[in-house]
């Protein structure tokens, strides 16, 4: 191998290492304690909604504060929580996110997808 090829390979490795270091994902501290995560949802007419992602860590407390313009019910798959939503009346669903993975939230009456609760393992 020529010296110029070796030099190019070393520079490329240094650039890749620097790129990895600046773009690496943030890792929570191993000592991070579970926290309360609050998500406020105003669902409107039950027909038009852009599905959202709700990111938490395993062990966090999750609170959904939900208001719907129409009578409906929200369901959290994987946790089997069911929240009745009388029109215009704010409702609260609170639980511990103890199951890692992606869990869909949907409205049962309108079959509208509210979003995905993403529960990441606590490191």
Say which residue, 93 or 30, is predicted with more confidence.
Answer: 93
pTM score: 0.72
Confidence bin at 5 (pLDDT 50/70/90):
confident
Mean pLDDT of 2-12: 78
10 vs 75, more confident: 75
Instruction: Quick: pLDDT tens for 58-72.
Output: 999 999 999 999 999
| Statement: residue 24 has pLDDT above 80 | no
Q: Containing H/E element for 17? A: helix 3-23
Report pLDDT for 26.
52
Annotated domain spans of the chain: 36-120
Tokens representing residue 58 in the block: 């395993």
- Hey, which residues does 92 pair with through a beta bridge? 65
CATH architecture of 36-120: Sandwich (2.60)
| Residue 72 CB-half CA count within 13 A | 25
pLDDT confidence bin for 10, thresholds 50/70/90: confident
Residue pLDDT, tens place only, 71-120: 999 999 999 899 999 999 999 999 999 999 999 999 988 888 999 999 99
Instruction: Answer whether residue 7 shows pLDDT above 90.
Output: no
């Amino acid at each position: 191998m020529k010296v110029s090829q070796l030099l190019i390979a070393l520079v490329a490795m240094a650039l890749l290492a620097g790129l990895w270091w600046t773009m690496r994902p943030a890792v929570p501290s191993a000592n991070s304690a579970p926290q309360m995560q609050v998500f406020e949802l105003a669902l409107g007419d039950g027909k038009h909604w852009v599905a959202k992602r709700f990111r938490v860590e395993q062990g966090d407390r999750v609170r959904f504060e939900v208001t719907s313009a129409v009578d409906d019910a929200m369901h959290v798959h994987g946790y089997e929580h069911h929240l009745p939503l009388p029109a215009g009346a704010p409702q609260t669903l609170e639980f511990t996110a103890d199951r890692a993975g992606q869990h869909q939230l949907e409205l049962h009456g309108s079959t509208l997808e509210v979003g995905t609760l993403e529960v990441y393992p606590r490191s």
